[in-house]
Amino acid sequence: MSRAPLAVGVAGVGSLGQHHARHYASLPEARLVGVYDARPERAREIAGGLNTRAFDSLEQLLEAVEALSIVVPTSQHHAVAMAAISKGRHVLVEKPLAATIEEAEEVVAGARRAGLLVQTGHIERFNRAVRAAAPFIENPKYIESDRVAPFVIRGSDVAVTLDLMIHDLDLVRSLVKEPVADVRASGIGVVSKSVDIATARIEFASGAVANLTASRLARERVRKIRIFQPTGYLSLDLAAGTGEFLRLKKSALAKLAFGGTPDLASIIEEVKLEAPEGDALQLELAAFVKAVRGKEDPAVTGEDGLEALRLAFRVMQAMGDGGRGS
């Protein structure tokens, strides 16, 4: 196992990719070798601020690194990932893993054949609220999620299902851990050629249900998820990184057994949800570096990204005509 810092690069240093580069530059277990962007002036701007190199081509960057963050538009994920894999480079691919299921399957299969690691950038797995809630999540039966945001050009090349909802599709899959039995959905396009607002009902083999809403037509950003399970109710504000867990007090069962109408406050307790502070993207990149070095298992594998993508396409298929153009 190598002790030297991992030589990493970033392909695509736009609004999100610049932060990949910034965090790599600060990680002690990584060494930011350089960046590449289709806009040379942008690459030079970001590289200059981080005292690293702006490469003139993706090929040159791949020659110089051991691992690569891929933060280009979704339509280019497959091409860049396959180029990196062909050079023997490990990759972290921002969500969604690819623009189509077939492309995602090729990325996962190609990395597997080459013995390389693929991590998918489902950043909400590293959200402070999710990390704090994890010890208390047990057998979820009903999940509600709302994810809405103002419209921006970045990400609008794909449907909101792939742009925003896929975060929550990955989350509910990781929480319920069961096969999906049925999907119902609806969605429409308003300001783009793709679907801009969508709702989906995901039913799992056990009967657990998740209702998801995603929109890029809101005035303000909202990222909330509510989880109902036999042991209680969790409400998480992913934007704020906070949450609460409400459950029956141990003494409540006796009170309820004797009938009557006890005061709610007397039978319900709130469990404080706490997790260490930490920037979710920085934690995600640190996990990637450690996984490449063999220090821990990948947090969100390429297979995870592929399954989230498959579920997203099931959602779009369930929209019928509403999913066209996505």
For residue 302, CA distances in Å to 74, 90, 103, 121 come to 15, 11, 12, 9
For residue 15, the model assigns a pLDDT of 93
Higher pLDDT, 151 or 172: 172
Scanning the chain, the segments in alpha helix (DSSP H) are 17-26, 40-50, 58-64, 77-86, 101-114, 128-133, 160, 166-176, 252-257, 264-267, 280-292, 302-318
Q: Quote the CA–CA distance of 212 and 161 in Å, as a whole number.
A: 10
Say how many CA atoms lie within 13 Å of 246 toward its Cβ.
11
Q: What is the average pLDDT score of the chain?
A: 92
pLDDT, tens digit (0-9, with 9 covering 90-100), for 177-222:
999 999 999 999 898 888 999 999 999 999 999 999 999 998 899 9
b/e per residue 50-64 (b: at least 16 CB within 10 A): bebbbbeebeebbee
286 in a structural domain: yes
Q: Model pTM?
A: 0.90
Looking at the structure, tell me whether residues 130 and 160 fall in a common domain: yes
Looking at the structure, tell me whether residues 106 and 160 fall in a common domain: no
For residue 263, the model assigns a pLDDT of 62
Domain range holding 285? Answer: 6-124+281-300
Q: Quote the CA–CA distance of 218 and 150 in Å, as a whole number.
A: 5
Q: Report whether pLDDT(259) > 60.
A: no
Q: What angle do CA 87, 91, 92 make, to 5 degrees?
A: 165
Looking at the structure, tell me whether residues 231 and 209 fall in a common domain: yes
Q: Quote the CA–CA distance of 11 and 284 in Å, as a whole number.
A: 17
pLDDT, tens digit (0-9, with 9 covering 90-100), for 92-131:
999 999 999 999 999 999 999 999 999 999 999 999 999 9
Over range 45-50, report the average pLDDT.
98
Mean pLDDT lowest among 174-178, 237-241, 265-269, 314-318: 265-269
Q: Quote the CA–CA distance of 92 and 116 in Å, as a whole number.
A: 11
For residue 238, the model assigns a pLDDT of 97
For residue 292, the model assigns a pLDDT of 97
pLDDT, tens digit (0-9, with 9 covering 90-100), for 120-151:
999 999 999 999 999 999 999 999 999 999 88
CATH number for position 16: 3.40.50.720
**Rg, Å, the chain Cα set:** 21
pLDDT, tens digit (0-9, with 9 covering 90-100), for 65-87:
999 999 999 999 999 999 999 99
3-state secondary structure labels for all residues of 306-323: HHHHHHHHHHHHHCHHHH
Taking residue 15's Cβ as centre, other Cβ atoms within 10 Å add up to 12
Looking at the structure, tell me whether residues 263 and 318 fall in a common domain: yes
For residue 158, the model assigns a pLDDT of 78
Structural domains counted in the chain? 2
Looking at the structure, tell me whether residues 34 and 96 fall in a common domain: yes
Looking at the structure, tell me whether residues 131 and 255 fall in a common domain: yes
Q: Quote the CA–CA distance of 183 and 317 in Å, as a whole number.
A: 9
Looking at the structure, tell me whether residues 24 and 89 fall in a common domain: yes
1 in a structural domain: no
For the chain, what is the largest distance between any 2 Cα atoms, rounded to a whole number of angstroms? Answer: 76
Higher pLDDT, 244 or 252: 244
Q: Quote the CA–CA distance of 75 and 65 in Å, as a whole number.
A: 23
